[in-house]
Amino acid sequence: MYTVDELRAIIKEELDKKEYIQEPYSLFEPILYILEDGGKRLRPLLTLMAYNLYREDIEKVLKSAIGIEIFHNYTLLHDDVMDDAELRRGRPTVHKKWNSNVAILSGDAAAITAYQCIEHCEDKYLRRAIDFFNQVAMDVCRGQQYDMLFETRNDVSEEEYIKMIYLKTSVLLAGSLRHGALLADAPEHEYNALYEFGGYLGLAFQLQDDLLDSYGDQRLGKAIGGDILEGKKTYLMITAMSHADEATREMLRTAYRDPALSDAEKIGKVKSIYDRLDVPRLTEQQIQLRFERALSILDTLSVAPSRTQRMRDYAMSLMDRKN
């Protein structure tokens, strides 16, 4: 069985081959640019790890794992245009470094490249691989659409928010795992179980991301309170809104754009409401619930406990939790 570091090195080596590049180079240059800035390579890693639960010949799933990473980066290219984001992992976004047209068209080329990579599998898996990938890709789009729709609404429920982040981020993690297990010839109920594991893990991860943005430490490398200052709808904000009285709701809605307050005062004001409404503990509960469900699913797999242990360790490390 491979270690996570070994798998990450294998992913890097495969990406560095840049085998998918065609003419004109300028169409692929922005794809190389966004791919080279790294990130955790979470999705192809999950694909390889799921495959490696069952089989050792991971080169068989490598091309399609790369496809999943390229797909993820395609969504980043387009999302950054839609959000008009300036920076991505500390570097100018593609539409800022070049322009939106470049980000749109190179994004499109990345999506097609992803499809080309995904189909690298034996014929007997092809229909399911494509079916599953189509569904995941569509769910990611649906999640992004809900996210944009929610921006202009003040009555988003916790349930709606959870559904949105599930579609926008968890489904791709879930699909990465299922794809790896499918190509490893895992039985249907096991690749579906891994899909479920990924869904819960993704939700736990995303909710924790929300929590850490307001209450986290420096490990994230993010400014604490960024979400509050942007007036972003996070799980914390939505939970607070649903528990607050009307006067408090009005404060939550307007604090971030109150010209009388400094940034630190805005953050302090919102967090004191969160604290009063017990939001951090309620959020932590939701994280814990989903993380435990995710881990319990690993116990249902037919593989040796030593093999699932590595997946468990990796999930722990993602959540920054000690075993």
State the nearest-atom distance from the C-beta of 76 to a second copy, in Å: 13
Which two tokens mark 91?
A: 């570097």
Best CA proximity match to 44, nearest among 18, 62, 21: 62
Best CA proximity match to 203, nearest among 224, 182, 178, 172: 172
State the nearest-atom distance from the C-beta of 83 to a second copy, in Å: 9
Say how far apart CA 175 and CA 57 lie, in whole Å. 20
**Residue type (1 letter), 195:** Y
Strands 91-92 and 87-88: antiparallel
State the nearest-atom distance from the C-beta of 141 to a second copy, in Å: 5
Please, which residues have CB within 8 angstroms of residue 47's CB and are 6 or more apart in sequence? Answer: 61, 64, 65, 68, 176, 177, 179, 180
Q: Which of residues 134-193 bind a second copy (CB under 8 A)?
A: 134, 137-138, 141-142, 144-146, 148-149
State the nearest-atom distance from the C-beta of 94 to a second copy, in Å: 13
C-beta of 136 vs 311, nearer to a second copy: 136
Contact with a second copy (CB under 8 A): which of 87, 112, 264, 304?
A: 112
With CB under 8 A as the contact rule, which of the stretches 3-11, 57-65, 105-113, 266-274 interacts with a second copy?
105-113
C-beta of 101 vs 254, nearer to a second copy: 101
Phi, psi dihedral angles at 91 (to 5 degrees): -115, 155
> Which residues of this chain interact with a second copy, rule CB under 8 A?
22-24, 26-27, 78, 81-82, 100-101, 104-105, 108-109, 111-113, 115-116, 119, 123, 126-127, 130-131, 134, 137-138, 141-142, 144-146, 148-149
